[in-house]
Amino acid sequence: MYDKELIASKLRRWEAYMHRFKLPMWDEIPNFGLYMEQVIVLLKQYLDYLPEDINDRQQIITSSMINNYVRTKIMPEPVKKKYFRVHLAYLIMICTLKQSMNFADLKNLIPTGVSEAEVKVFYESFATHHRSTTEFFVAQTRLLAANILEHEKAGQYAVESPTDLITVSAVISGFSGVLANKLLLLEGKTLKDEETSE
């Protein structure tokens, strides 16, 4: 059982926080060499909307994760053990997207082996879409939780209980992941290719 008032209070605080939250734009990311531990501290600040695992089994970012991302070439190598703006941009995107995508799909989505100017364009688009998607998701959650938040006009999609809200949120997450995966599989294909495969 969940305390409805506690959930409502948490939702209101979360909504207020998410209205203020935004990923840094390219020019707001520092472009001087940072060491690994400094990168980890900065990323945790940038991505503080992502909670650490309750049992501390899964952290947002660790030095071994960063080393793995470099080793698998999803991001460029540091320069003399220092990380710059381009590295931080990659890490922000990776840490954000890995919440809902597997590593293979992530590697297909994020551009690798491209110029820093191309990374900048991709990252700025990513940060802009992150902001608009945040606003959309907060608005949709507000509609879903209308009964919990005791809004006068609850629509047809409003759930009745915190358990229902958790369930619907998990289902939305699943559908979003499936859609992203299905769209990634269409890279390089045309409608004609799809018609001949049926």
pLDDT of residue 55: 47
The separation between the first and the last C-alpha atoms of the chain, rounded to the nearest angstrom, is 47
pLDDT tier, 103 (very low <50, low <70, confident <90, very high otherwise): confident
For 34-55, write each residue's pLDDT tens digit: 999 999 999 999 998 887 664 4
The candidate with the shortest Cα–Cα distance to 96, out of 120, 69, 68, 60, is: 60
pLDDT tier, 197 (very low <50, low <70, confident <90, very high otherwise): low
For 125-152, write each residue's pLDDT tens digit: 999 999 999 999 999 999 999 999 988 7
pLDDT of residue 67: 96
Strands (E), 63-161: none
pLDDT of residue 56: 53
Q: How many CB atoms lie within 10 A of CB 24?
A: 17
Contact 60, 53 (CB under 8 A): no
pLDDT of residue 88: 97
Asked if pLDDT for residue 194 goes beyond 60, the answer is yes
Q: Is 195 exposed, middle or buried (0-12, 13-18, 19+ CB in 10 A)?
A: exposed
The whole-number average pLDDT for the span 10-21 is 93
Quick one: which H or E segment has residue 16? helix 4-20
Residue ranges covered by each domain of the chain? 4-190
Q: Which amino acid is at 49?
A: Y
Asked if pLDDT for residue 158 goes beyond 60, the answer is yes
